[in-house]
Amino acid sequence: MSVPSIVFFGTPPIAVPTLERLHRDWSVSAVVTLPDAPAGRGRHRQSPAVKVAAERLGIRTIFQPQSLSDAAFVEQLAALDADIFCVFAFRILPRVLLGLPSLAFNVHPSLLPKFRGPAPIAHTIIAGELQTGVTTFVLSEKVDAGMILLQESLSISDGLTAGELAEILAPRCADLASRTIAAWMNGTLVPTPQDERLATAAPKLHPETAWIDWRRDCRTVRNWIHGHSPQPGAWTLMDGTRLKVYRARLIEEESSHQLAGVWRMTDSAWQVACGRGTLELHEIQLPGKRAVAVADFLRGWRGHREGVFSLPEQKHDGTSG
């Protein structure tokens, strides 16, 4: 078989290494990504990371449809007569698109059927998993439920944030995607059904539900913080001000505290009592400020050195926290 014609679907930065690898190994004919949209404090229109990468790679055919079911877009895509659709961190493809190529597959950064959904890496960290991986599977109309093509696992170092794990998984996703195409080309792909009994969900994380419940044990709290880092950022309330916490370290895990959320500062450390155990905050962000290491924050802190973070039911700002 000659070199296949490939259309790549994707949007965020984690998908860029896969696009780069497939273009290097096989040459990508076209890219489908989301429309440019306002972003950042200035709300200036920005292109998705995958579009920026596609332009840098010299891929000339880039689609940014408002609707994947738009008749004109479907007609344009069908005219490409592509052999393969590769999808990574994108929308659900409608049935009209699934039937166009010989192979339509998705790249997913988890060991399916665990953590189906848009935030598998975050939920892997939140759940305290010791192992994760990447999966390629045949696209179907049910989210992340298609037949598995290839899968690779790896161990997770304790204390990683979701952002750090994403950086580790991104090149592995790229490698598995290219290997999937190679196996399809030589006829060695053997699709395997997913075990529905093992399926778990990984829904999108939202800022309004990212509050930190200090009443839980310190390891669970640390995993919650790291799973929301860097986005959307787990938060707590300090004297009515929302404080985001991006990184924390386990100090001890055995002591029980009747009053959770009690915090104390020294010149070099900021510790918080959880329902069981104690955490040390390492990276934080106050409203309107940039994220900083706690050691740097403490050097300029002139406020009080002890306090209690508000618990979820103690609402001060009209939110769920």
Count the Cβ atoms, other than its own, within 10 Å of residue 100.
17
DSSP state of 141: S
| Domain stops at, among 141, 170, 198 | 198
Domain range for 257 is 207-308
Decide if 187 is inside a domain: yes
* pLDDT given for residue 1 in this prediction: 58
DSSP state of 122: H
* pLDDT given for residue 313 in this prediction: 66
Q: Are residues 76 and 189 in the same domain?
A: yes
Distance set, CA 87 to CA 49, 54, 90, 103, 301 (Å): 15, 14, 7, 11, 47
Cβ neighbours for 312, distance < 8 A, ≥ 6 positions apart: 211, 213, 320, 321
* Structure-block tokens of residue 5: 């014609």
Decide if 158 is inside a domain: yes
Amino acid at 233: G
SS3 196: helix
The segments of the chain whose pLDDT lies below 70 read: 1, 40-42, 313-321
Q: How many residues does the chain have?
A: 321
* pLDDT given for residue 94 in this prediction: 95
Cβ neighbours for 51, distance < 8 A, ≥ 6 positions apart: 31, 33, 36, 62, 64
Decide if 317 is inside a domain: no
Q: Are residues 156 and 283 in the same domain?
A: no
Rounded CA-CA distance 231/123 in Å is 12
Q: Are residues 187 and 223 in the same domain?
A: no
At residue 271, what are phi and psi to the nearest 5 degrees?
-110, 150
* Structure-block tokens of residue 270: 């900021």
* Structure-block tokens of residue 271: 């510790």
Q: Are residues 177 and 304 in the same domain?
A: no
Rounded CA-CA distance 321/317 in Å is 8
Q: What is the pLDDT of residues 67-95, one digit of tens each?
A: 999 999 999 999 999 999 999 999 999 99
The β-bridge partners of 150 are 136
* Structure-block tokens of residue 21: 């690898």
CATH number at residue 120: 3.40.50.170
| Domain stops at, among 198, 216, 235 | 198
Q: Are residues 53 and 25 in the same domain?
A: yes
CB 305 within 8 A of CB 265: yes
Decide if 319 is inside a domain: no
SS3 255: strand
Number of domains forming the structure of the chain: 2
Decide if 314 is inside a domain: no
* pLDDT given for residue 75 in this prediction: 97
Decide if 111 is inside a domain: yes
CATH number at residue 230: 3.10.25.10
Q: Are residues 172 and 224 in the same domain?
A: no
Measured at the alpha carbon of residue 133, what is the angle toward residues 108 and 146, in degrees to the nearest 5?
A: 40
Q: Are residues 223 and 299 in the same domain?
A: yes
Q: Are residues 192 and 211 in the same domain?
A: no
| Domain stops at, among 173, 198, 223 | 198
Rounded CA-CA distance 163/230 in Å is 6
Q: Are residues 89 and 149 in the same domain?
A: yes
Q: Are residues 32 and 75 in the same domain?
A: yes
